[in-house]
């Protein structure tokens, strides 16, 4: 065989920009496991692996749908009943849309990809928070559009810096991404900040992509739609069964496009793209109806469990010399900061923590913060007892690392 036929098959250069640290870091954890140490995985926001259970009525609905023969392709935009349930849910949250403006997706993730693909050309700008959920930057890298980062401020409870957002707007701006409640910071935004962000999109005429996958998981109760009170603003909302309905593996999500003619072309483009991937996961679409129209009592217990873990996380981490953390008000993430010695990075700290204790977090630079700033993200879904042991170990390790 000559060298030409044995050379590696080349891959597209765009893959170089597609970075998803939450999973990439797992290869490091596998090495630690191979060396015989147990790893405690605090890197991924999956409630199921920490013992939270999918509501039985949702499981029964999916099983029934399969038994009833709903195993073929669904309509590319989703089954009518699921679209109606999502439209009714949007209306309850203050964003009235007709079912025709809803598309059922394979998780929030697919909605994000469809929307960015529909809205941004190569070279266009999309405003993204820092820290960010890394799928946004990964998809933009794939499209060739530019992620333009706006600050969210730990000194103000991780609130977006609206003046900074405003200063970044140019004729090339195609969309503003707002994640509220937020991953990775665990923040939920003030009404004033939310209003200011929607007004910017409205006035400057670009789409606001409202990632509301944690809307039911604010500890004080569900938060309204970002678009609530702005019926004519150009907004796309995204959510799914992954977090608040404890079914991340089902890949059952939705997007809804606000009811303004300004968004009609975007909606048509999204539907066109949706046709190409045939449909979302069919039997799970029936569970969207059961989830949104049915019993949600599991959510109250889940919110309570999260609040208890958030309080433990805040008090235990803030008691460690060299670490401070903003108290989360939603979801299951905290973004502590360790005051690093000169020359060290967040990845140095996170990898040393992993090797010394088996605790796996994700370094802040995986979410776009500067490596020298020392941020890292903790998923606090483990039981309070287990978390308590984890925070003991983080305290012991940090003392040594900083000494
Ligand atoms: C902010 C945010 N958006 C989207 C997603 C993806 O969710 P889904 O499972 O619905 O695709 C996640 C998952 O962690 C997330 O944290």
Reported as a single tens digit per residue, the pLDDT across 343-359 is 999 999 999 999 999 99
Q: Which atom of ligand 1 is nearest to the CA of 184?
A: 16
Q: Are strands 173-179 and 125-130 parallel, antiparallel or unpaired?
A: parallel
pLDDT value at residue 222:
98
Place of tokens 């968004």: 263
Taking the alpha carbons at both ends of the chain, their separation in whole angstroms is 57
Q: Which atom of ligand 1 is nearest to the CA of 133?
A: 1
**pLDDT (mean) for 384-399:** 98
Q: Is the CB of 213 under 6 A from ligand 1?
A: yes
Q: For residues 119 and 112, give the distance between their C-alpha atoms in angstroms, rounded to a whole number.
A: 11
Which residues neighbour 242 within 8 Å (Cβ) at sequence distance 6 or greater? 107, 108, 213, 248, 250, 251, 252, 253
Choose which residue among 49, 186, 242 to substitute to test ligand 1 binding: the one with the highest number of ligand atoms within 8 A of its C-beta: 242
Return mean pLDDT, the chain.
Answer: 96
| pLDDT at residue 309 is higher than 80 | yes
Q: Is the CB of 253 under 6 A from ligand 1?
A: yes
Q: Which atom of ligand 1 is nearest to the CA of 106?
A: 11
Radius of gyration for the alpha carbons in the chain, expressed in angstroms and rounded: 21
Residue 26, Cβ density class (10 Å: 0-12 exposed, 13-18 middle, ≥19 buried): middle
Provide, rounded to the nearest whole percent, the portion of the chain with pLDDT above 70.
99
Name the nearest CA neighbour of 360 among 14, 4, 16, 44.
Answer: 44
pLDDT value at residue 15:
83
Q: For residues 126 and 104, give the distance between their C-alpha atoms in angstroms, rounded to a whole number.
A: 23
Using a cut of 0.85, tell me whether the model's pTM lies above it. Answer: yes
| pLDDT at residue 179 is higher than 70 | yes
**Ligand 1 center–CA 333 separation, angstroms:** 12
Residue 26: phi and psi, rounded to 5, are: -65, -30
Q: Which atom of ligand 1 is nearest to the CA of 240?
A: 10
Q: Is the CB of 139 under 6 A from ligand 1?
A: no
Q: Is the CB of 107 under 6 A from ligand 1?
A: yes
Choose which residue among 86, 133, 254 to substitute to test ligand 1 binding: the one with the highest number of ligand atoms within 8 A of its C-beta: 133
Residue 126: phi and psi, rounded to 5, are: -130, 125
Q: Are strands 376-379 and 235-240 parallel, antiparallel or unpaired?
A: unpaired
**pLDDT (mean) for 293-317:** 98
pLDDT value at residue 375:
98
Place of tokens 């970002």: 226
Q: Is the CB of 240 under 6 A from ligand 1?
A: yes
Q: Is the CB of 134 under 6 A from ligand 1?
A: no
pLDDT value at residue 262:
97
pLDDT tier, 1 (very low <50, low <70, confident <90, very high otherwise): low
**pLDDT (mean) for 287-308:** 98
Q: Which atom of ligand 1 is nearest to the CA of 251?
A: 9
Q: Which atom of ligand 1 is nearest to the CA of 248?
A: 9
| pLDDT at residue 219 is higher than 70 | yes
My answer on whether omega of the bond before 107 falls inside 30° of 0, hence cis, is: no
Name the nearest CA neighbour of 367 among 122, 107, 45, 48.
Answer: 45
| pLDDT at residue 3 is higher than 70 | no
Q: For residues 139 and 238, give the distance between their C-alpha atoms in angstroms, rounded to a whole number.
A: 16
**pLDDT (mean) for 39-44:** 93
**pLDDT (mean) for 193-208:** 98
Give the Å distances, CA to CA, from 118 to 58, 139, 225, 232: 32, 12, 22, 20
Going by alpha carbons, the residue nearest to atom 14 of ligand 1 is 45
The answer to whether 363 touches 349, Cβ cutoff 8 Å, is: yes
Q: For residues 356 and 350, give the distance between their C-alpha atoms in angstroms, rounded to a whole number.
A: 10
């Amino acid at each position: 065989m000559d060298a030409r036929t044995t050379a590696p098959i080349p891959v597209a250069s765009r893959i170089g920009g597609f970075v998803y640290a939450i999973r990439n870091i797992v290869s490091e954890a596998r090495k630690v496991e191979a060396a015989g140490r147990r790893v405690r995985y605090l890197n991924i926001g999956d409630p199921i692996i920490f013992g939270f259970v999918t509501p039985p009525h949702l499981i029964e609905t999916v099983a029934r749908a399969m038994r009833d023969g709903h195993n073929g392709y669904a309509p590319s935009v989703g089954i009518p009943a699921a679209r109606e349930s999502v439209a009714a849910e949007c209306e309850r949250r203050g964003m009235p849309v007709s079912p025709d403006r809803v598309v059922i997706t394979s998780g929030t993730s697919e909605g994000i990809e469809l929307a960015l693909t529909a809205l941004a050309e190569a070279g266009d700008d999309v405003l993204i928070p820092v820290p960010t959920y890394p799928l946004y930057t990964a998809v933009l890298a794939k499209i060739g559009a530019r992620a333009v980062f706006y600050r969210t401020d730990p000194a103000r409870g991780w609130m977006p810096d609206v003046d900074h957002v405003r200063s970044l707007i140019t004729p090339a701006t195609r969309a503003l991404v707002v994640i509220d409640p937020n991953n990775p910071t665990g923040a939920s935004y003030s009404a004033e900040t939310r209003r200011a962000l929607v007004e910017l999109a409205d006035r400057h005429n670009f789409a606001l992509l409202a990632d509301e996958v944690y809307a039911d998981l604010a500890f004080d109760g569900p938060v309204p739609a970002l678009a609530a009170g702005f019926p004519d603003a150009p907004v796309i909302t995204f959510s799914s069964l992954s977090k608040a309905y404890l079914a991340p593996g089902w890949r059952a999500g939705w997007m809804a496009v606000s009811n303004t003619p300004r968004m009609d072309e975007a909606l048509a483009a999204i539907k066109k793209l949706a046709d190409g991937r045939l449909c979302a996961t069919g039997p799970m679409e029936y569970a969207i109806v059961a989830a949104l129209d049915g019993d949600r009592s599991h959510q109250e217990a889940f919110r309570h469990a999260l609040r208890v873990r958030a309080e433990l996380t805040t008090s235990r981490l803030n008691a460690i010399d060299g670490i401070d953390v903003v108290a989360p008000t939603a979801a299951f993430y905290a973004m502590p900061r360790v005051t690093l010695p000169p020359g060290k990075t967040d990845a140095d700290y996170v990898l040393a923590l992993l090797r010394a204790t088996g605790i796996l977090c994700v370094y802040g630079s995986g979410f776009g913060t500067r490596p020298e700033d020392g941020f890292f993200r903790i998923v606090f879904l483990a039981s309070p007892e287990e978390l308590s042991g984890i925070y003991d170990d983080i305290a012991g390790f940090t003392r040594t690392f900083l000494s």
